[in-house]
Structure formats: C-alpha cells, structure tokens
Copies of this chain bind each other. A is one copy, B any other.
C-alpha cells in the first residue's frame, strides 16, 4: 500500500523530517520506504491519496489507568493520597463487575483511538478477569498495548487488598497474551506492595518481562516511602533492589527524582513516562523534562488518565511545553522544551518502548494519522510546520481524519 501526503516525523528530538506530497510504502504492516514518486516505482500498489494533508506518526501513551476512565475530570480539587482514597480506589473496586468493566473499557478505547493514540500502556485494577477482558478488547480494537493487572498487598482498602501469592500468580497468568497485546508486571507503587511481593515480581522481570510502576510523583508519597523503608537510600533503590528496574521498565512521573536516581535510570535504560497534565491536576509538582531529554534518557508521555483529564497525547504535548516554560520561570537555570522535542516524545520517544515505532524510518510499524486540512492553511500561507503547530496546539479530535495502526485503518472521521 502507498500513502500519499505531506509527511512529517521526528527521527531525532531536534529536527522534523518533512516530505511534501511524498509517499509512504507499507509492506507487511511496516514502513518499507518513504520518498517522492513511489507510485512510479510501485505502479501496482493501491494509493491512499491524502494530497496536501499532513501525515504524522500516531501517538504513544506510556501511562493510562483504564479503570479510571469513568473518573475522567472528576475530583481534581484533591491531592494524590486523598484523591486515591476518595475517588480512585472506590472506582477501581467496581471492576469486580465485568459488565461495568466492559462499558468503561470500550468507552476508553474508543476515546483513545479517536485521540490518535494507537500504542498504549495500561494499568488495569487488581482484578484478573477485568484485566484479561481489557487485553481482549485491545486486541479487538487492533491497538498495540501492554496491559497490567495491578499488584497491591498492603496499604489499600480491604476490598482492593490481595494475598501476596495470589497477586503474583495473577500477574504470572496474564503475562503471555498475543503478538500485539502483552501483559506487564504492575506493582502499583512501593507503599502498595510488600518487599516480598516486589521480589517475587522482580524474579519475573529478570526473565525479561516488562514492568511499570509509579515513582516520586508527590512529596507526601516520597516521605511515606522513606518512612516505610529507611533502609534504602532512595525511592528508586527499593525497586532496584527487587530487580524491577531495567530497559523494559516504565517509571511514571519522576517529578522529584534525585541526580543519583536519574543517573541510575539512565544506566538501566528504563523508560520515563512524563505526565504533566496529571502533575498539574493533583498539584504534584513540575518535572524538569528537559534534563531527562538532555541526559538521553528514554522518555515519552503519559496521559495518566484519570489524574490527567484527557486521553489526548496531543493535549499532553502542549501541557508539557507550557509546564516546561513554568519551570523556566521558576528556576532560570532550567530550560523549556521545544516543539520538536515534545513531538518526538509523543511519537518516537514513547514509541521505542514498543520497538520500532513512532517514526517513518524503514522497518518501523506503519502507525500514523492523517490530519484534516484547515481551510485557513492556504489563505494564511502556512508552512507545513505551522500547519502541524496549529493542529497540535489548536486542533481537536475532529481534526484527525484517519487513524492507522500497523497499516490498518482503525478510525475515520466523517
């Protein structure tokens, strides 16, 4: 298949690659080649003609609590630990009920796809059946996903508390699913998991299975971890000692990580999910995202639904740029991130967690969005980068014409 249009992507964080009315040649769900006049080179291929429309990689969301979608936008006058007790845990309890789960998951998945995200890493709840259902639905919606049954064997309401062994066994049973939807080890965060449980999960992680968790989102949370584990030097060391940190680990938040923790994140090749929207909503703090980028740490975005109020990585990109400007106002030695850096994080930065995805290089998964042409683009004589800025900053889901994942059309906007 050939796709024709104005192709824009970021192979590196500092520069856009632009091909005006060029072609993407897709073979076996992957990018085989991009270039001018590929219709002449491959005359027998079907052409999807999006002349003059932008074609960009679809978005990657590294952190999304599918079970909190019903809470989207609700209760955001609270801070993390109170918010968990007053809103989150009560909602997660409902996922014992598979009928409720299916309604919420379907609504969430449809909203995710309409927002242009096709690769996502989900937290589910502690419930094994609901988690399995979410995996099946990801498969049915043809997105690419990691889905984690949450582990919690301490400091949770009775109704969400697991036995250590059964928490471990539930995770184990869900690790293998399919080529495009995989399980992921998901200790909620240190306060929710005994060392015993984290060590058992770490023994799975050391076999090469992926891991996701939270770290250093909020100052009270960090104090709590310190008081639970004074024997460890810092928050990261608790996970690290349990063998939970490696190149397949996603660490959500990292708002207050120390230089030493950042150094260790870099050494291990772990991924960071930056969630600026959620960090604003829960008054958690402002992460110095530019520092992580400059260190060469693997970093992408998380919407962190439901602490984040939107499944749109496009909106989270804008929040990240805005928050990095606030950071610069607050600490003049810190720097804001550029538009291309934010775009890279939203596409290839997070996409690399899934292997080759998030750009249009050869061999990369054919995951992309076609954007509707804004009538003002012509009359205002916008450059293609300006058109892209207008879509990212001022667009909405209605401006996304088509959503493709692995070469397959998932969504079309009429």
Residues on A lying within 8 angstroms of B by beta carbon are: 69-77, 91, 100, 103-104, 107, 280-281, 283, 285-286, 309-310, 318, 321-323, 325-326, 328-330, 336, 338-339, 375-376, 379-380, 382, 386, 389-398
Contacts and interface: CB of A to CB of B under 8 A. Distances in A.
A395 B309 CA distance: 9
Nearest to A285: B329
B390 A72 contact: yes
Would you list the 6 A-B pairs with minimal beta carbon distance, nearest first? A73-B393, A73-B394, A309-B393, A280-B322, A283-B325, A73-B390
A342 B278 CA distance: 18
Nearest to A283: B325
A382 B100 CA distance: 14
Secondary structure dominating the interface of A: helix
A77 B397 contact: no
A389 B75 contact: yes
A70 B396 CA distance: 16
Given A286-B329, A396-B396, 17 more contacts: A72-B393, A73-B391, A73-B393, A73-B394, A73-B395, A74-B386, A74-B390, A77-B338, A104-B376, A280-B325, A281-B325, A283-B325, A309-B318, A309-B394, A310-B394, A397-B398, A398-B398
A276 to B, nearest CB: 9
A216 to B, nearest CB: 15
A281 B375 CA distance: 24
18 contacts: A72-B390, A73-B389, A75-B386, A76-B321, A76-B339, A76-B393, A100-B379, A103-B375, A103-B379, A104-B376, A104-B380, A280-B322, A280-B325, A283-B329, A285-B329, A309-B393, A396-B398, A398-B398
